[in-house]
């Protein structure tokens, strides 16, 4: 037997043995390959695929190495040439064409019959388990209110939120929003300048940028730079100080005279409330600092709890 074929057989045997050993070691106490393959079609398909890949790979390598050893260049040259270097007509090798077609047929069989896309999956099982757990969780803790709800919210915050907002919820030197106050001057100014469309009311309800906001005199001229600076400081200072007249003329029509918003019109910008925080958790938020992602993995009760905790921070409790 030619040495190259002998090496091919040896390499094939080693790779197949390694594949079988790996499956047995990771199969949770199974003693041999037959036990691994007996109860799970996924393992069977994996082994079949590994065997096919090993055999095909070794076969192709042997074929072309052997061809390089014994073959000589011949055939019909193409008409084109580059720098007087010609190229042979190279039809698709029959073996490659057959393997391509077989692979296509096998792929369709795999997705339709062998392991259909709508069949069992670990991700699907995980999602089902999470849904069941969340239903039990919300039922068990449905009656929790007051201080206990705030304590639950602190736990959720420390697990999910502190990585950006910090242990003290202070935003870690401007890397995220400081949740101890409702709004910062830079945040208010950015929203006035650029508008907002952050689903803070639970649905798309954009606020216009400065060109669509009337000035304090309500004469349909855009709000000025000086008015923006003044009203931004007023809102960030808890709706107090200079700027009440600008707010009344330019902002109160949507946000209300006290800044606590209007249902279906504008969000509460004076204080945190549960609806606002839950909407941010549901939809995420883009602002002057960056983009906060949505937190779909939190269930309804957890969102209510973390809202209670954040509200308690802004009240200094």
DSSP assigned state of 182: S
108 pairs with which residues across the strands?
none
DSSP assigned state of 10: H
Residues 6+ apart with CB under 8 A from 298: 156, 160, 281, 306
Q: Are 115 and 42 in contact (CB under 8 A)?
A: yes
pLDDT in tens, 189-240: 999 999 988 888 887 778 988 888 888 777 778 899 999 999 999 999 999 9
pLDDT higher than 90, residue 60: no
Q: By mean pLDDT, which of 87-96, 160-169, 273-282, 295-304 is the weakest?
A: 87-96
Which pLDDT score is estimated for 247?
93
Which pLDDT score is estimated for 26?
63
* pLDDT class of 100 with cuts at 50, 70, 90: very high
Which pLDDT score is estimated for 288?
86
Mean pLDDT of the chain: 85
pLDDT in tens, 226-246: 999 999 999 999 999 999 999
């Amino acid at each position: 037997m030619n040495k190259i074929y002998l090496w091919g057989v040896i390499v094939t045997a080693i790779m197949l043995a390694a594949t079988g050993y790996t499956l047995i070691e990771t199969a949770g106490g199974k003693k041999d390959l037959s036990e691994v393959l007996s109860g799970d079609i996924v393992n069977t398909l994996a082994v079949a695929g590994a065997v096919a890949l090993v055999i095909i790979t070794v076969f192709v390598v042997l074929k072309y190495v052997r061809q390089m050893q014994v073959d000589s260049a011949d055939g019909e040259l193409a008409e084109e040439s580059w720098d007087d270097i010609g190229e042979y007509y190279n039809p698709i090798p029959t073996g490659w064409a057959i393997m391509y077609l077989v692979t296509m047929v096998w792929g369709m069989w795999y997705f339709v019959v062998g392991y259909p896309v709508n069949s069992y999956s670990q991700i699907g099982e995980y999602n089902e388990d999470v849904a069941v757990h969340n239903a039990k969780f919300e039922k068990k803790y449905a009656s929790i209110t007051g201080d206990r709800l705030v304590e639950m919210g602190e736990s959720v915050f420390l697990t999910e939120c502190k990585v950006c907002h910090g242990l003290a919820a202070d935003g870690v030197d401007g890397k995220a929003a400081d949740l101890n106050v409702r709004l910062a001057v830079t945040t208010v100014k950015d929203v006035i300048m650029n508008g907002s469309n952050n689903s803070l009311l639970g649905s798309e309800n954009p606020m216009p940028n400065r060109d669509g906001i009337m000035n304090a005199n309500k004469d349909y001229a855009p709000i000025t730079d000086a008015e923006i600076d003044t009203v931004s400081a007023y809102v960030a200072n808890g709706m107090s100080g200079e700027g009440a007249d600008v707010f009344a003329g330019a902002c109160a029509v949507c946000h209300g005279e006290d800044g606590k918003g209007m249902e279906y019109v504008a969000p509460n910008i004076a204080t945190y409330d549960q609806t606002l925080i839950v909407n941010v958790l549901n939809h995420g938020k883009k602002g002057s600092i960056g983009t906060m992602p949505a937190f779909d993995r939190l269930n309804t009760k957890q969102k209510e709890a973390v809202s209670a905790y954040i509200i308690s921070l802004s009240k200094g409790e």
